[in-house]
Structure 1
């Protein structure tokens, strides 16, 4: 099992790396070349950089995924592509995407896009807070403990 992080907009990369270190897991962060970093990371963290483009990271994650991986993304579309491959998928708010609810989330996303296309304003995501960061860490740690037992 390894963590795969949809890295372009993820606010929880540091938390995932800390959890991976604690539980001896590997981390793969897939991100655009726009987010290239020279920062050094532990050996258990690997980066894959992809070309610029809205779905480049998503397609690479789909290519890399294995059935026991855990994906961290806020992208419902990516979640819908990796769930059938047996991976577990989590939003950075800590909620797990499930096969039985992903269609509803995709429909909500579609309806929001239609409203925006028609000129209506929709609410965007609220700002990610330290409490959100802690909730993510707590939830992921609970899931990792279950995995170990």
Structure 2
């Protein structure tokens, strides 16, 4: 099953926090499931009053957040990102990768998503316009919450079985 945790260790949730619309939900569910949430963002997006969780501020470089997450996320951790390239790099390490819209990136769907991204980039390089992402909706938020709860519940069940 794609949503099951593979080991018996509590996961850490890493959030690609630059422009992430579900930071408060992640903070709430991390607290509810008693797992660590690490919000990774560039220093230019530093918040005066950040949400509960650990905050890591990285360099301005556009890939600095991705590199931090790639270097720290391990098997069974959960990463929240809209970056398909980052997702592709993580799922091979058995990291659960979830988009803010609730898409659970897996071996089964990542190739198609990478292909679409490639075609769109190629079209833009030819000077043609492509449609941007659809607006974030209430339904997207609900789908994200449901998928995150499912992953965290499965992980909690595996971790709790160690204690019994």
- Is this a same-fold pair by TM over 0.5? yes
TM-score w.r.t. the length of structure 2 is: 0.84
Bigger RCO of structures 1 and 2 (CA < 8 A, at least 6 apart): 2
Q: Deviations for 1:86-129, whole angstroms, at most 9, x for unmatched residues? A: 21101111111012321221121111011011121111111112
Matches within 5 A, 1:24-103: 24-42=34-52, 45-103=53-111
Offset of 1:40 from its aligned partner?
4.4
In the other structure, the counterpart of 2:7 is none
**CA distance in structure 2 between the aligned counterparts of 1:51 and 1:115, rounded to whole angstroms:** 30
**CA distance in structure 2 between the aligned counterparts of 1:148 and 1:64, rounded to whole angstroms:** 21
Match status 1:144 vs 2:152: yes
Question: CA 1:144–1:52 in 2, change beyond 3 Å: closer, same or farther?
Answer: same
**CA distance in structure 2 between the aligned counterparts of 1:34 and 1:110, rounded to whole angstroms:** 29
Which of 11, 14, 21 is matched with 2:31 structurally? 21
**CA distance in structure 2 between the aligned counterparts of 1:65 and 1:140, rounded to whole angstroms:** 17
Q: Kindly indicate whether the alpha-carbon contact (under 8 Å) linking 2:42 and 2:57 is maintained by their aligned counterparts in 1.
A: yes
Match status 1:120 vs 2:116: no
Match status 1:132 vs 2:140: yes
Q: Kindly indicate whether the alpha-carbon contact (under 8 Å) linking 2:42 and 2:64 is maintained by their aligned counterparts in 1.
A: yes
Structure 2: unaligned runs, 5 residues or longer: 1-10, 158-164
RMSD of aligned Cα (Å): 1.3
Structure 1: unaligned runs, 5 residues or longer: none
**After TM superposition, where is structure 1 displaced by more than 6 Å over at least 4 residues in a row?**
none
Q: Secondary structure at the match of 1:85?
A: coil
Count of aligned residue pairs for this structure pair: 147
Q: Secondary structure at the match of 1:138?
A: helix
